[in-house]
Structures are given as structure tokens and as C-alpha cells.
Amino acid sequence: MNKQQQESIIKYRALLEEHHDWPSKYMFKFICPVAKIEQARELFKTFRPSERESRKGNYISITFVIEAKSSQEIIDIYIQAQEVEGLLKL
């Protein structure tokens, strides 16, 4: 992880801490290229996400809610999500 990514994580953690009391419900939303959906499904399977295909069928939106114990739990999921090429967080 480079310095810019580390700084971004520090800022995001501070923002999460400012706006949430832990434990807290947190909603994740991603947009995934259809070609990478199986990889995303495998990554997020324990969260039982809902999916919705885009109008043209090129992308699938993925949504799930967790009861996060800390800001680090949320950050860890976003870091894992970076493994899926083309996955966009919303």
C-alpha cells in the first residue's frame, strides 16, 4: 500500500469515527463488471448481498448491510474489494 492510499484510509477512518457509534449498521454498494461477478460473489458471499443487473447488462450492482463492530471492519472490506478488478464502490 502506498503513502497516498494510507493517508486516504486514515482520513476515511476519521470520517467513519466522526459519524458512527460502534457497533453500527453500514451499507456497502458496489458496481461490478459482469465478467468479474463470480469473483465478487465469492468475496462477499458471507454477507448475502442483493444484486441487480444494469439496464444494458454490462454491470451488476451489489448491496449488503453489516453490523460493523468498528471502522476497521469497514475498511478491511473495502481493502478486500480492491482484489476485484473493475469493482467500483459507491
Instruction: Compute the distance between CA of residue 69 and CA of residue 73 in angstroms, rounded to an integer.
Output: 7
pLDDT in tens, 25-57: 999 999 999 999 999 999 999 999 999 999 999
Q: Is 43 exposed, middle or buried (0-12, 13-18, 19+ CB in 10 A)?
A: buried
* pTM, rounded to two decimals: 0.89
Q: How many CB atoms lie within 10 A of CB 57?
A: 8
Does 5 have pLDDT greater than 90? Answer: no
C-alpha span between 70 and 64 (Å, rounded)? 17
Multiple choice CATH, 3-89, 3.90.245.10, 3.30.70.240, 3.20.20.140, 3.30.1330.60 = 3.30.70.240
What is the DSSP secondary structure assignment for residue 54, as one 8-state letter? -
Enumerate the domain spans of the chain: 3-89
